[in-house]
Amino acid sequence: MSFLDYFRGKKTNTNTANVAKERLQIIVAHERGHRKQPDYLPALQQELLAVIRKYVDISDDMVQVEIDRTDTCSVLELNVTLPEK
């Protein structure tokens, strides 16, 4: 690392408040989305997982269940990642 880089590096690193704000915006949006999910969702996810496991060997994080609500309808979104064969 050159002498100049040292100063440049230092300069870009000091505005960590912006980084904090961007990270927070993402975290908070993600968590708020989850909060609006119905109470039965975790149980539904577990049962779906059990059914799929009868046929394919998958791990817990390979099934994602979400509910998207708009004014007129709700969509149950089921995302299953199958292992590569």
Partner 1 sequence: MARIIVVTSGKGGVGKTTTSASISTGIAKRGHKTVVIDFDVGLRNLDLIMNCERRVVYDFVNVIQGEASLSQALIRDKRVDTLFILPASQTREKEALTKEGVEKVINELSQTFDYIICDSPAGIEHGAQMALYFADEAIVVTNPEVSSVRDSDRILGILQSKSRRAEKGQDPVKEHLLVTRYNPARVERGEMLSVADVEEILAIPLLGIIPESQVVLNASNQGLPVILETETDAGQAYDDAVARLLGEEREHRFMTAHKKGFFSRMFKGG
* Residues near partner 1 (CB under 8 A): 14-18, 20-21, 23-25, 27-28, 31-32, 35
- CB-based contacts of 3: which residues, under 8 Å, 6+ apart? none
- Cβ proximity to partner 1: between 37 and 45 the closer is 37
Shortest distance, position 25 Cβ to partner 1, whole Å: 6
Shortest distance, position 49 Cβ to partner 1, whole Å: 26
Task: Answer for the pair 58, 83: CB distance below 8 angstroms, yes or no.
Answer: yes
Task: Answer for the pair 80, 63: CB distance below 8 angstroms, yes or no.
Answer: yes
- Cβ proximity to partner 1: between 62 and 67 the closer is 67
